[in-house]
Amino acid sequence: MSKHLVDIDDELLEKASAVLGAGTMKETVNRSLKAVVLASRRRRHADRLETMEGLDLADAEVMAGAWR
């Protein structure tokens, strides 16, 4: 873990802290960063499901074995 000197919008930090239920600035920042990364990952997975790119969910043989 590293330390960084950054300017943070106090009002935005307070709101984010309340939304995330974080008790400290460090916890708020770390939870916020994690939330952004997870949201991006969910978006990528949703995009893959929408396009079926790289997925074999449309393959009847594969899906027949999925329920066993």
Structure confidence by residue, pLDDT tens digits, 10-29: 999 999 999 999 999 999 99
The domain tally of the chain equals: 1
Q: What is d(CA 18, CA 29) in angstroms, rounded to the nearest whole number?
A: 12
- For residue 45, being part of any structural domain is answered with yes
- For residue 3, being part of any structural domain is answered with no
The boundaries of the domain holding residue 37 are 10-66
Q: What average pLDDT does range 30-37 have in this prediction? A: 97
The single-letter DSSP state of residue 51 is H
Report the run of H or E that residue 18 belongs to, with start and end.
helix 10-20
Q: How confident is the model at residue 7 (pLDDT cuts 50, 70, 90)?
A: very high
- For residue 2, being part of any structural domain is answered with no
The pLDDT, as a whole number, for residue 46 is 92
Q: What is d(CA 31, CA 17) in angstroms, rounded to the nearest whole number?
A: 9
Residues in the chain: 68
Q: How confident is the model at residue 40 (pLDDT cuts 50, 70, 90)?
A: very high
Q: How confident is the model at residue 68 (pLDDT cuts 50, 70, 90)?
A: low
